[in-house]
A and B are shown apart, each in its own frame.
Chain A
């Protein structure tokens, strides 16, 4: 079932989501987003370019934040905006914990803004907001 606009209040918290950052996840998501930059799949070239290992690409961070919020909002939700800033890289072997809370509501267009934060073992990997349009009481 999808969450309705009327049932959501500012301050509502989303259940946390643990994302184990396996090497396979980092490579598979980079390729699924058609991002063939070597730093996302080749460990030795990643080190040469100043990183400690391969790291998750930003398109995947967008995808995971999208998944996290729409997973909470339900299939009827329509994503209107995703705004993210990256910090600590997501390296293999770490875990990212996504948390979020409702930060704003706009009756016009039944839009809800969720503030999202994804923290790994090094620090905050991602901070940002996602705006979704929710179903109304009439199911519209």
Chain B
């Protein structure tokens, strides 16, 4: 057992909270606030006559409100006490293990009697068990099982509650980068983007006059033919011209962003990003070779990086 595990397990059976009375006695305004929020129209909570008609002496508090009578309220939530309680100590020990978030998972109440206005409610809490670290949908965490005992002003038990919370380490979620704007794909250019997804850079070729063209279009600008096929580019070319984008910025891109017109060895030109080069080092005429970027699962685009010098 690690030292940390031993320190945690030493809490088993320990009192987490000494008996402590709720700030206010059971009272009608808090009952009203509760039943209004819960939209609970059972008349025995607010209507004396209806409550007496059921054989009770008068109105009663909803059973499920038990815990609410002992909640510490707003002030204690936002300004924790300077003298840490045992519960604060355990919270701190769990935080030391990274378990900084909390969610309640189980509550098992037994009620010994109904509460009526004027009842004072105290609660005390003891640790029953602390689990090993478990993997949960929220993150890795430990289940803390405790027993709460509720008593009235005479010290008589009015309810018991087995209580379980999960203290967990929130799963780190890296901020999601937005997707690149998607290209407008139509029946004339779909073949080109489909080939790009397979990391093939193709160029449209007129079947009649054999001239190459880019961007894709339905009709040969040289001879007017609608018949075409494609050839695959060698992926070699040079920077014909370029710009360095600084503004406006789109969150999908890294800046400064080099946008170049590449003239391929085959003679057609296309617009693409440059990779593996500082903007200041880009030169017109610089030899480049094909690279690929895959911004999202449905989109692959050609990019170009400086060609390695052949004489080295």
Asked if residues B54 and A79 are in contact (CB atoms below 8 Å), the reply is: no
Q: Does any Cβ of B come within 8 Å of A60's Cβ? A: yes
Contact digits for A105-138, partner B, Cβ 8 Å, 1 yes 0 no: 0000000000000000000000000000001000
Q: Does any Cβ of A come within 8 Å of B55's Cβ? A: yes
Asked if residues B42 and A67 are in contact (CB atoms below 8 Å), the reply is: yes
Q: Interface range on chain B: under 10, 10 to 19, 20 to 34, or 35 or more?
A: 35 or more
- Please indicate the chain A residues that have their CB under 8 angstroms from the CB of B104 in the complex: 57-58, 86
Asked if residues B54 and A2 are in contact (CB atoms below 8 Å), the reply is: yes
Chain A, 1-19, CB within 8 A of any chain B CB: 2
Cβ distance B138 to chain A, nearest Cβ, rounded Å: 6
- Please indicate the chain B residues that have their CB under 8 angstroms from the CB of A70 in the complex: 40, 42, 62
Q: Does any Cβ of A come within 8 Å of B224's Cβ? A: no
Closest-by-CB residue of B relative to A61 is B107
Chain A, 58-76, CB within 8 A of any chain B CB: 58-60, 62-67, 70-71, 75-76
Inter-chain CA distance A132–B100, complex, in Å, is: 37
A32-B33, A71-B42 as given contacts; A62 in contact with B105, CB under 8 Å:
no
- Please indicate the chain A residues that have their CB under 8 angstroms from the CB of B33 in the complex: 31-32
Inter-chain CA distance A60–B78, complex, in Å, is: 21
Q: Does any Cβ of A come within 8 Å of B307's Cβ? A: no
- Please indicate the chain B residues that have their CB under 8 angstroms from the CB of A89 in the complex: 103
Cβ distance A121 to chain B, nearest Cβ, rounded Å: 15
Asked if residues A84 and B106 are in contact (CB atoms below 8 Å), the reply is: yes
Cβ distance A132 to chain B, nearest Cβ, rounded Å: 9
Asked if residues B73 and A36 are in contact (CB atoms below 8 Å), the reply is: yes
- Please indicate the chain B residues that have their CB under 8 angstroms from the CB of A2 in the complex: 54
State which of B44, B68, B139, B168 has its C-beta within 8 Å of the C-beta of A32.
B68
Asked if residues B74 and A36 are in contact (CB atoms below 8 Å), the reply is: yes
Contacts between the two chains (Cβ within 8 Å), count: 125
A2-B54, A32-B33, A79-B64 as given contacts; A62 in contact with B109, CB under 8 Å:
yes
Q: Interface range on chain A: under 10, 10 to 19, 20 to 34, or 35 or more?
A: 35 or more
- Please indicate the chain A residues that have their CB under 8 angstroms from the CB of B54 in the complex: 2, 75-76, 135
Cβ distance B212 to chain A, nearest Cβ, rounded Å: 51
Asked if residues B105 and A34 are in contact (CB atoms below 8 Å), the reply is: no
Q: Does any Cβ of B come within 8 Å of A35's Cβ? A: yes
- Please indicate the chain A residues that have their CB under 8 angstroms from the CB of B78 in the complex: 36
State which of A29, A66, A76, A79 has its C-beta within 8 Å of the C-beta of B55.
A76
Asked if residues B34 and A78 are in contact (CB atoms below 8 Å), the reply is: no
Inter-chain CA distance A64–B42, complex, in Å, is: 12
Inter-chain CA distance A28–B54, complex, in Å, is: 29
State which of B37, B40, B105, B106 has its C-beta within 8 Å of the C-beta of A28.
B37
- Please indicate the chain A residues that have their CB under 8 angstroms from the CB of B110 in the complex: 80-81
- Please indicate the chain A residues that have their CB under 8 angstroms from the CB of B41 in the complex: 71
State which of A36, A66, A75, A76 has its C-beta within 8 Å of the C-beta of B64.
A66
A-B contact pairs, 13 of them (CB 8 A): A33-B65, A33-B68, A39-B101, A50-B139, A62-B67, A66-B64, A67-B40, A70-B40, A76-B54, A76-B55, A79-B111, A81-B109, A86-B104
Rank and list the top 8 A-B pairs by shortest CB-CB distance, nearest first: A50-B170, A34-B71, A79-B63, A66-B64, A36-B77, A32-B37, A58-B104, A67-B40
What is the interface of chain B, defined by CB distance below 8 A to chain A?
30, 33-34, 36-44, 50-51, 53-55, 62-65, 67-68, 71-74, 77-78, 100-111, 114, 138-139, 168, 170-171
What is the interface of chain A, defined by CB distance below 8 A to chain B?
2, 25, 28-29, 31-37, 39, 48-51, 57-60, 62-67, 70-71, 75-76, 78-86, 89, 135, 139-140
10 new A-B contacts, CB < 8 A, other than A59-B64, A62-B67, A85-B105, are: A25-B37, A29-B37, A29-B38, A35-B71, A50-B101, A50-B168, A63-B38, A66-B63, A67-B42, A79-B63
